[in-house]
Structure 1
Amino acid sequence: MNCGHFLPNWYLEKIKIKKLKILKIFIIMFFIVDLILIDMIMINRSKINTINDETNEKIILLKANADEKAKLHSNNTETLNTFLKFEEDIYKNIDFKSLNIEKRNIDIKFNIKPVDFAAFIKKIEDTNKFNITYINDSHKDDSLSGRSDDNSSEIRLQVK
C-alpha cells in the first residue's frame, strides 16, 4: 500500500500485467493489419503499373497509326495540290502522251511542234510556280539525225 491507495501491491501489479498483455496483443494485431494493408497496396500498385504500361503501349500504337494516316493524307493532298496547280496554269491546249504526278514532281511526255515546245517552256517559266528539272526535246535529235518518226518530248517539273 503505497501512495495513498488502499489496494494491495499484488493486485496493482496483476492489473498492470493485464494491461501490458492487452497492449501487446493490440500492437501485434495492429502490426498484422498493417502488413496486410501494405501487401494489398503493393499488389494493387503492381496491377496499376501493368495496366499503365499496357495503356501507354496502346496510346503509342494509336499515335503511330494516327501519324501514319496523317502522313499518308498529307502526301495525297500534296499530290492533289500539285495537280491542281499544274492544271490551273499549264494544262490547257496540249496533247499529253503521259502525265505522272507524284507528291511535288510532275513527269510529262507529249507530242508537240518545236515552236510550240519553246512556247510551252516559256509558259512554264512565266508561271513561276515550277522548277524544270529535266528536258528531253526529241526535235533537236530529229533535226540532227534526220529522223521524224516520233515527236515525243519529255519534261520533269517540281513545284516550288
Structure 2
Amino acid sequence: MRPVRLILVAIATLVFSWQLAAAPAAAVDVDEAYRLIKINPAGETAVISNADLEHGKRLFNDTCSQCHMAGRTKTNPNITLRLEDLEGAEPPLDNVAALVDYANSPTSYDGELDLSDLHPSTKRADLWPEMRSYTQDDLRDIAGYILVQPKLQGYMWGGGKTVN
C-alpha cells in the first residue's frame, strides 16, 4: 500500500509543479510614481504604462539579460545600467530616446567608436539576429524597463543597495 501512496504523491507533485510552470507570470503592476521616466535629453518625462513595462521586461529578459544580468555589463563590469553610469556616457543614456538610439547604433561609452559589430543593434541585425524583429516601440519599452527597474528592486542595477 505504501508504494502506491508514494507514486500518487509523486504524480500529484509533478502535476502541481507543471501547473505552476505553465501559469502565466504575474502582470506587472507598478505605481505611477515609479513609472515616471525621462523620455529625451531635454528632460521631458512621461509615465510608462504597466503593459509597456511588462513588455519591455520580457524583451529585456529574452535578449539583453544575456549580457546585462541584473544590470551588469558582462564585457565591461565597470559600466552598468545604473542611472549614474547611463548619465556618464557620451552622449548620456539616461533617457528613452538615447537608449533607443543606442540600440539602433551603439557607440563606446565615450561616444567615439561605433560598436555595431560588438553590441546587438538593429543597424547590424545581420550579425545580431535577435534584433531583427524588434520594432522601435519594442526598443522604447526595453528602454523604459531599463530606467524603471532600479526603482523597483531592493538593489540598483549592477549591484549595491538603493538609497531610499
Q: TM-score of the superposition, structure 1-length normalised?
A: 0.28
Structure having the higher strand fraction is 1
The answer to which structure has the higher helix fraction is 1
Q: Which has the greater radius of gyration?
A: 1
Q: TM-score, normalised by structure 2?
A: 0.28
- Identify the structure with bigger relative contact order (alpha carbons < 8 Å, sequence gap 6+): 2
